[in-house]
Amino acid sequence: MSDIRYTKDHEYVRLDGDVATVGITNHAQEQLGDIVFVELPHVGKSIEQGAEAAVVESVKAASEVYAPLSGEVIEVNGALEGEPAKVNADPLGDGWFLKLRIKDNSQFDTLMDEAAYNAFVATLS
């Protein structure tokens, strides 16, 4: 069973057991515009919730991607290095950034579900 949650910094996390897939939301990629570069962490790196996990650069700006959960990086989406536009094309699918083996499942429960995230985004416009 997989579930998805969101942060106020526009990251999403899809949880499947103790593995969390992390990326940026559709709203985030729309705000950034055409993504031209993604810097991913090294496999094996430990990241705390809220810490910088990756960097994404677009024609408009560079932006940090923060870890929605604490854990160890177990996989990165190497395809983004050669084709960063995958983030624009499919942010919640092929455009994912990294996978974490999470330390604490309870952190997931502190994040917004889709309805709460959509309500949050509606307040930004």
Structural domains of the chain ordered from first start? 2-104 (2.40.50.100)
- In this structure, the dihedral spanned by the alpha carbons of residues 35, 57, 117 and 22, taken in order and rounded to 10 degrees, is 90
Question: Can you give the pLDDT of all 125 residues of the chain as single tens digits?
Answer: 458 999 999 999 999 999 999 999 999 999 999 999 999 999 999 999 999 999 999 998 999 999 999 999 999 999 999 999 999 999 999 999 999 999 898 999 999 999 999 999 999 97
pTM here?
0.94
DSSP 93: T
Q: How far is CA 53 from the centre of its chain?
A: 9
Using CA atoms, how far apart are residues 97 and 77, in angstroms rounded to an integer? 5
| Residues paired with residue 2 on neighbouring β-strands, in sequence order | 16
